[in-house]
Structure 1
Amino acid sequence: MTAGAAGPDPVAEVLRRLIADRPHARVIDVGGGSGTRAVPLAQLGCRVLVVDSSADALAILHRRAAEAGVDDRVTGRQADADRLAEVVAGWSVAGDATVGDTTPGADLVLCHHVLEAVDDPAAAMAAIAAVLRPGGQVSVLVPGLLAAVLAQALAGRSSAARALLADPDGRWGADDPLRRRFTVEQLRGIFATADLEVESVLGIGVVPGVAHVGAAGSAEDEDEDRCAVEADLAVHPVAQQIAGDLLVVGRANRVAATAGAGSTAGAGPTADGAPPAR
């Protein structure tokens, strides 16, 4: 989920911070589709591999990359997530000669709105962890469970709200369009199983669709205040759990010292710009 055209994109801001000190970072976007995230990252200097099962989405990716003048830094591969290691091995074999970097793997892997669709989220995260360079980071975006529970309850659909809470996958029934939703606690467990250290959690869309009624000041002031409130709630440990989407950034626990001397992997910033947790 991203912010509207008139407001900031908190996910994009996080990604920019993650690669701020790694202008030539190697990024893998799992399920990256048409390149909404990949192309802007390539414009910042990253080399990006997009792995997606949709040929149509990849065609849009290539067109978008060409129009942006970064087609030399964006690669698309049609494959499912369970073939990630194979695809990445082929992409990594040559390394990046422009920066003398031949260490295989990625500095950053994006997994945005993928875990809710795969058969086994834990296995998918393990596959992602396996293609990270030592010290590499992962950005995971998933739909939050509690936001759906509240939405159903406030709409008067109490049975659906209770079903969401009771179902292990966070679904209200067979007609639910999503295969699963997540809580922060569940995501922390999935990261731990994959030997990934959670560095930050953000709630994206804690107060979506806020109506500006009866407030003093200009519309611009109201928008600024709304964005400020949203930013505060995004990092609040309780409020973030009712966000529509949950954005979790983690880091591979393998020590960076095992990477090649030319590797760009290492102690990059956390999602909020703070030094990485140790």
Structure 2
Amino acid sequence: MVDPIRPRASLRTAVVWEVLRDALERQAKAGGRDAEEPLDVLDTGGGTGNFAVPVARLGHRVTVVDPSPDALFALERRAAEAGVTDRVRGVQGDTHGLLDVVEPGSYDVVLCHGVLEYVDDPGEGVRNAVGALRPAGALSLLAAGRGGAVLARAIAGHFTEAQHAIGDPDGRWGDGDSLPRRFTAEQLTRLVSDAGLRVGAVHGVRVFADLVPGVLVDTEPGALEALLKLELAAAEQPAFHSIATQLHVLADRG
């Protein structure tokens, strides 16, 4: 559930973590493998280990590929604090050259979170992530949602920017937008399908969390837990995918 120390941050990752944890459990049970045998997980663009360290704490081996030496140093420190140094490995690199720094076809699960927004060729990014998977592996893909940005700009009163984001090929609301690219659910599932995977599930992430005033969540008794339950309930409903801040796709080879 929600981390009592970093509640708002936990709320933003809760849906993805719930889906990912279930996927890891299924992968661990697949193929008649020993229940205690750890999975090999690759987190491309994993940065400081927001997902890698919790995955390692479940007992799995995690390789994090990231272009930033500073992020990898922070990852090492975080892994040490969590007592999982022996299960977390950092490698400097990026998604473009992913298969040059990791062994192709050697991972049970690949995480590609917050990467496609920044790469030159999202299709190549997905193909490389898929190339790192074992035959029965699963891909967890997380990217910014186009509709969520439109809604957020409109609610903030920036109507011209909201309209710009609707018509912009990359879903950007203007020159001041720090994000190079956003996606629709259809665009993400097409990228996954074109890379040879079967889409298992699509989830809307942060459908409401970024729109609700922080003071309400922080001061109203029980509001945080109620908002988390609402997010989890809305995540699987296709009607809410178009307004989610992020979109999560879970896929495998079928």
Give the TM-score normalised by structure 1: 0.78
CA distance 1:6–1:181, change in 2 (3 Å): closer
Residues 154 and 26 from structure 1, CA distance in 2 versus in 1: closer, same or farther, beyond 3 angstroms?
A: same
**Residue identity matched to 1:125:** V
Match of 1:4 in 2: 8
Other-structure match for 1:114: 115
Query: What residue number does 1:269 align with?
Result: none
Report what 1:14 is aligned to: 19
The correspondence for 1:37, drawn from 51, 59, 76, is: 51
Report what 1:57 is aligned to.
71
> How far apart are the structure 1 equivalents of 2:10 and 2:43?
25
Q: Is the 8 A contact 1:133 1:252 kept in 2?
A: no
Partner of 2:80: 66
C-alpha distance in 2, partners of 1:85/1:252?
19
Counterpart of 1:48 in structure 2 is 62
Describe the SS at the equivalent of 1:20: helix
The match for 1:85 is 99
Corresponding residue for residue 262 of structure 1: none
Structure 1 residues 224, 75: CA separation in 2 closer, same or farther (over 3 Å shift)?
Answer: closer
Shift of 1:212: 9.4
Does structure 1 conserve the Cα–Cα contact (< 8 Å) formed by 2:201 and 2:250?
yes
Once the two structures are TM-superposed, the CA of residue 29 in structure 1 deviates from its matched residue by 0.3
Q: 1:132 to 1:207 in 2, by over 3 A?
A: same
> Map of 1:187-266 to 2, 5 A cutoff?
187-208=188-209, 209-211=211-213, 219-220=221-222, 222-253=223-254
TM alignment of 1:157-168, pairs within 5 A: 157-168=158-169
Cα distance in structure 2, aligned partners of 1:57 and 1:155: 32
- 1:168-191: per-residue Cα shift (whole Å, max 9, x none)? 111122221110011101111111
- Counterparts of 1:156 and 1:137 in 2: how far apart (Å)? 40
Is the contact made by 1:111 and 1:138 (CA closer than 8 Å) also made in structure 2?
A: yes
In structure 2, the residue matched to 1:140 is 141
Q: Relative contact order, CA 8 A, sep 6+: which one is greater? A: 1
- Does the CA-based 8 Å contact 1:144-1:181 persist in structure 2? yes
User: Counterparts of 1:225 and 1:66 in 2: how far apart (Å)?
Assistant: 33
Amino acid at match of 2:107: A
Give 1:211 shift: 4.9
| 8 Å contact from structure 2 (residues 117, 180) kept in 1 | yes
Instruction: Give 2:39's aligned residue.
Output: 25
* Unmatched 5+ stretches in structure 2: 1-5, 29-36
The answer for unaligned runs of 5 or more in structure 1 is 93-103, 254-278
Deviation at 1:240, TM superposition (A): 2.5
Percent identity of the aligned residues?
44
Distance 2:10 2:122 in 1: 33
Find the structure with the greater CA-based Rg.
Answer: 1
Alpha carbons of structure 1 residues 63 and 178: separation in structure 2 relative to 1, 3 Å: same
| 2:102 counterpart SS class | helix
Residues 106, 136 of structure 1: 8 Å contact kept: yes
Query: Are positions 1:175 and 2:176 aligned together?
Result: yes
- Aligned equivalents of 1:78 and 1:116: distance in 2? 19
Query: As a proportion of its length, which structure holds more helix?
Result: 2
Query: For the residues of structure 2 that align with 1:116 and 1:139, how far apart are their CA atoms?
Result: 15
Q: Name the residue aligned to 2:31.
A: none
